[in-house]
Structure 1
């Protein structure tokens, strides 16, 4: 269906955009790691340095072109302009992109000019803001790893500064000098300080004091972020914990059978594993009607896509039918309906298996699986159910009431005719 194809296309574009931003962040981190080493050891004599420098310049140039494209796209789009104009039209981002894209190692002598490449750090903060605005999943994890790499870069730069302040030890290679400086820096930041390397002179002692104060602040920030990432629970997990606590309280004050206790616990576990434990009603209530329908369609698009009844139907029909589908969960052995019940609605299987039994429940007529539908015979004829349906395991079902379905089918009589034809053939098979 066209609407589902559009959703997949948007998802691919969003995934590419996020992946590209992460690539730029990695390029910025690599550039920031190489710069202080170039100051100390003049890396321009190495061929790999030039290859790396031009590669990063190429990535930054592509990023600049992408940003210009985004700028023009947002400028011509009334909705996007209202939301993201301040982010993409800011001159500070454009200037930072231009300054970062120039290959200073080739154009100008001396590594000092390479510091201008650090203007690309603005891109890191812009990207993190973009992730938060676009509600990218795992934002906390991304922030955590960014902080980890930031801690490494801080230690790395301080180690290079220590080599500059302390001086290069004669008789040691560049690698040995750097490793020794990094060891001293990390020992000082973490307040370990074995004392095997000590500062001499006022300049080195002042550097050590600044490093100690900076290290205390950095460690506090890092520890706080780690605790926040690993202790923060998503709403579904928190709801599961709350429900299990309520179940324990119920068992404490009320006598219930072990079997029922285990079944309730199994249901809560199933709800969590199937990612159904998050109550989205509060979020839905905060949205306007149009966005609420879009979100409902996003929730239900998979079941709609798998229902053979809705193949090649109008996109607007899918939108309208989605807003009336009401979810329900059946546990093993639950009856969806029995023969003789009044048929006021029909049902669609999102996940699970259900068995259709004869009226006397002695004969199994068929097995219903993902994408199947049932209950339409009694609903259309406004009669009693002709069969009994029982859930084999846990089953996720969508219910559609006759009143709402009639509203939609009045606009789409060809869909109603298709359902009637299929329901008649199923009725003949079950009788």
Structure 2
């Protein structure tokens, strides 16, 4: 494995460690207000350890920023650094071990400035790990919901006071129960506020709960609706088909075939058309992405099994995707010819002139249509898709460019073309 891979693992592990430290301290801080955790050695030791972690994180962030601030590329995309002085100040304020230095727990609120780091790191993980962004969003949402309820529960205990009939754990659980039911506007009334302070706090919670519940539901709905873009695209396409049927008269068979294609697209191609993304990318990234899409297809073709990466890169930029539905003709005998095809998925029948005889069956890794590219002639065979078939098309102009640059590949294709021509004609 490369050095960059291990460096990436280390960076991610360190960020996760800092997030865990922040979450742990933010969870314990309101309990310190209630139960004077500063009087325990383990809490002071934990506070010192967290201060050390924050200090190391500050140093690493400074070094990271100094390393990339003059970098032409990284300075524009690697934003999880001290590109703004406010981020540096926030980390600096959170460093001191306030539980050890001060007897008043109020000073520990400075630790909350480190929460800025958590938010920035969460955005970093989401942007750098797109395939897991939904899970990250969902996890952060529920962690934030718990912390929100946890702090309000501790504030309620401070206002309401401890009930002597319950243990400390029992008092906390009861307060958390009261807070959650009030914030979610459920409020069973089995925990009743007494006195002006408690009733005003209850009113405040109810007002906060309206916005909190709307935010929570909105975020959950947003996460799930964005979870499967393939399903979204499928539903949109089916809705368009429904509108077409309403305004235009099409046969039942054609309707079924179009519906089947949308289903195939959702299941096999994940509702994704690579050409849409290609159009918005700059030339260099477009070529790299094309190579990622097509290199496995090219390598699966026996003809290209021993070629180098330079050939794969050259030919990949010229391959255009094409889909055939069951029964579609790729071409017929006598059709004009200006391209050849490579089978990515599916199978196609090569038929005789009257289509009464199947000459061969083309499957993944096979290619066809090259005969007419070597000679100024029309198609010499009829090719028909058996089921759904995914192909890549290579136009004659680009075909000639590649062959001139790689004569050994050209000779292999010529030999294959000659044997096919003798067979089909």
- Band the TM-score falls in, shorter-chain normalisation: 0.7 to 0.9
1:328, CA displacement in angstroms? 1.0
Tell me the equivalent position of 2:153: 159
1:215, CA displacement in angstroms? 2.1
Tell me the equivalent position of 2:399: 405
Equivalent residue for 1:189, pick from 183, 194, 200 = 183
Equivalent residue for 1:77, pick from 71, 77, 89 = 71
Contact 1:343 1:379 in 2 (8 A): yes
Query: Deviations along 1:401-426, whole A, 9 cap, x unmatched?
Result: 11112123333334333433454566
1:156, CA displacement in angstroms? 0.5
Tell me the equivalent position of 2:301: 307
CA distance in 2, matches of 1:16, 1:416: 47
**SS of structure 1 residue aligned to 2:234:** helix
1:207–1:390 distance in 2 versus 1, CA, 3 Å: same
**SS of structure 2 residue aligned to 1:356:** strand
**SS of structure 2 residue aligned to 1:78:** coil
Tell me the equivalent position of 2:168: 174
Pairing 1:118–2:84 present: no
Q: Unpaired segments of 5 or more residues in structure 1? A: none
Structure 2 counterparts to residues 99-138 of structure 1, below 5 A? 115-130=109-124, 136-137=130-131
**SS of structure 2 residue aligned to 1:400:** strand
CA distance in 2, matches of 1:107, 1:310: 70
CA distance in 2, matches of 1:60, 1:426: 70
CA distance in 2, matches of 1:395, 1:105: 67
Tell me the equivalent position of 1:353: 347
Query: Deviations along 1:52-109, whole A, 9 cap, x unmatched?
Result: 8788778767765764564355235312223446854334434545665777767887
**SS of structure 2 residue aligned to 1:121:** helix
Contact 1:356 1:364 in 2 (8 A): yes
Contact 1:344 1:382 in 2 (8 A): no
CA distance in 1, matches of 2:4, 2:403: 30
CA distance in 2, matches of 1:371, 1:128: 42
CA distance in 2, matches of 1:122, 1:279: 38
Tell me the equivalent position of 2:324: 330
Tell me the equivalent position of 1:217: 211
1:281–1:110 distance in 2 versus 1, CA, 3 Å: same
More deviation in 165-174 or 33-42? 33-42
CA distance in 2, matches of 1:11, 1:301: 22
Structure 2 counterparts to residues 196-345 of structure 1, below 5 A? 196-231=190-225, 236-275=230-269, 277-278=271-272, 283-311=277-305, 313-345=307-339
CA distance in 1, matches of 2:147, 2:257: 52
1:154, CA displacement in angstroms? 1.0
**SS of structure 2 residue aligned to 1:398:** strand
State the aligned residue count. 425
**SS of structure 2 residue aligned to 1:332:** coil
CA distance in 2, matches of 1:209, 1:251: 54
1:69–1:161 distance in 2 versus 1, CA, 3 Å: same
TM-score when normalising by structure 1: 0.79
1:228–1:389 distance in 2 versus 1, CA, 3 Å: same
Cα RMSD after superposing both structures: 4.1
1:270, CA displacement in angstroms? 0.9
1:130, CA displacement in angstroms? 2.9
CA distance in 1, matches of 2:146, 2:94: 22
Contact 2:265 2:272 in 1 (8 A): no
Contact 2:137 2:223 in 1 (8 A): no
Query: Deviations along 1:271-317, whole A, 9 cap, x unmatched?
Result: 12233644565654444333333343344344234334444545444
Structure 2 counterparts to residues 342-381 of structure 1, below 5 A? 342-359=336-353, 361-381=355-375
More deviation in 295-304 or 118-127? 295-304
1:157, CA displacement in angstroms? 0.8
**SS of structure 2 residue aligned to 1:393:** coil
1:193, CA displacement in angstroms? 3.2
1:121, CA displacement in angstroms? 1.1
CA distance in 2, matches of 1:19, 1:384: 61
